[in-house]
Structure 1
Amino acid sequence: MSGVLGQMFSGYLQAALFKGMDGKGGMSAWRWLFIFDFCLAIPVAIYGFIFYPDTPQNTTAFYLSEREKARSRERIDEEGRTPSGKLNIGVFKRVLTSWQFYTFTLGYSFWTLTAGSYIIQYFGIWLKSLGTYSVPQINNIPTGLGAVNFVFMISTGYVSDKIGRRAPVCFAVGCLLTFCYAVFTAWPTSNSLKMAAFLLSGCYGCYTPLLAGWVNSSCGGDQQVRAFTLAFMVSVGQIVVIPLQQLQFPSSEAPRFSQTHGWVTGLCFVILLTLWTGVGIEVVERLAGKKSQLGKRTDNGEIAV
């Protein structure tokens, strides 16, 4: 959510710099933007270095007492999330044979292949192509997409916790995203409809916390499987979208991508994302759970509890 808000406020910052700092000190506004980014980043880095507490097992945080550190470790043990030990061949075997490692990597890859994280850029290019908006407006209007993203992150997280399931939420968001990409694919004459589709496509962002939370809960106390799965799914997701974005969604073809059929490709991946996260992951999870229970049967054929 902080990333989404940061993206929103960066639009406002760019608009303000364009109005007030362009030409100051002999530099253009975009150069001033980098200076402001530097000034904002240094305090964040210092704060993180001093105040991030590491883990309960190795924390040296000065603001935690020994009793608080001990209690933190006790809570980890009580929840069945005690670290499994050192990294060895057994850890890799456990990771590579886990269903989470492959299932969530595939789901996250579908998400990145929709090129949803680039839509705010295409939104700005489309606004510029209309020739009716000023530069500050082109910077400010797309921030509405970030506001939609923020609302969906909060609401979907709340709903998924309330019902105890993430699949129905992923499916519902996927259906809305399918509508948006269908509009982009058809590219109707109505600018109002396209504007609404661009703004509503901000719903895509909630998939990251939903999938990350799903990985966390499904891995239980196995910290290594959780860590490797999260790292692998994000890495693979970013790797596969880079060539696709350059081939199917080059900025030179924005905003219609008629020559590269970008929106058609994106729509296909949105449908795959909707079906896989809305139905597929739960099916795999259920089958893996049954297999695990069969593996726990005792010699007399009863399931060990």
Structure 2
Amino acid sequence: MRAPTDDELRELAAKQAALGELRGTPAADPVNAPMIRHWLAAMGDRNPAYLERGLAPPAMAQVWTMPGLSTAPKDPSPVDDLMAALDAAGYTGVVATNCEQTYHRYARVGEHLTPATRFTDLAGPKRTALGVGFFATWTVTWYADDGDPVAGMLFRVLKFRPREKEPARTPYPLRPAVNQDTAFFWEGARRGELRVQSCADCGLLRHPPGPLCPQCRSANRSYAVASGRGTLYSYVVHHHPPVPGRETPFVVGVVELPEGVRIVGNVVDCPIEEVEVGMPVRVTYRPMDDELVLPMWTPEEP
């Protein structure tokens, strides 16, 4: 079956609006004291006037005509066909955006309320934070036995096309140890910064990170953001054993930074036979899964 177009959805909405107000089936049970008592207890409403005067709280209007789990046929509604058409068009997400009630008078114990639904508007498609969708609006009015309107409710929903989620990456098996000494480094990698630990007292830079300064023995730590450029000091080509999550062979290098420290990382985007000691390199950041980003090294452009 072909999915309806946006123009066809708007045409259907206009047709449903032209139907006007459609009355449903009167409530199966009259407004009654036991249900009012349960409502007051659930809401924490201690006002004795309702039961003493035989009146229902105005906010209960919808309660009296809710169908529950009944298998009886539903009342005809100008809303159902449009909701089904929106689903067929791919607007399967739904979220309520407005519910505005109007109270005309109290419903009285013993009255049977009858709902009447009128479809009023379909706006869209509109781009929202949830996705592109249509705002559908309708009103319900509850009438008493004498034909008087008791309460009304404007209800609006957003029917939207859910965004496709990117499949989650398989967690990278060789995860580094992250603790209070190294967390700053991995947070920097996620932000695209090559952070080098520094002593907050004497200023010495050191890598790998540690709890104490090797020069002044201070435990006060900070960090500096390196330029991200360096020179390949040494390297090995790993062939065996197999490494989970990696395809062999690959290059592991020690890079000397102009800031005065050395850092280990993979050398990428370079044929193995062209890797050589002393070559200029720059840092690049590679997401390994949804959480882990590893700094690696690639040849510096001339």
The answer, yes or no, to whether TM exceeds 0.5 is: no
The structure having more radius of gyration, on CA atoms, is 2
TM-score by length of 1: 0.18
Select the structure with the greater relative contact order (CA < 8 A; seq sep ≥ 6): 1
**Greater strand proportion:** 2
**Normalising by the residue count of structure 2, what TM-score does the alignment of the two structures yield?**
0.19
Which structure's residues are more often helix, by fraction? 1
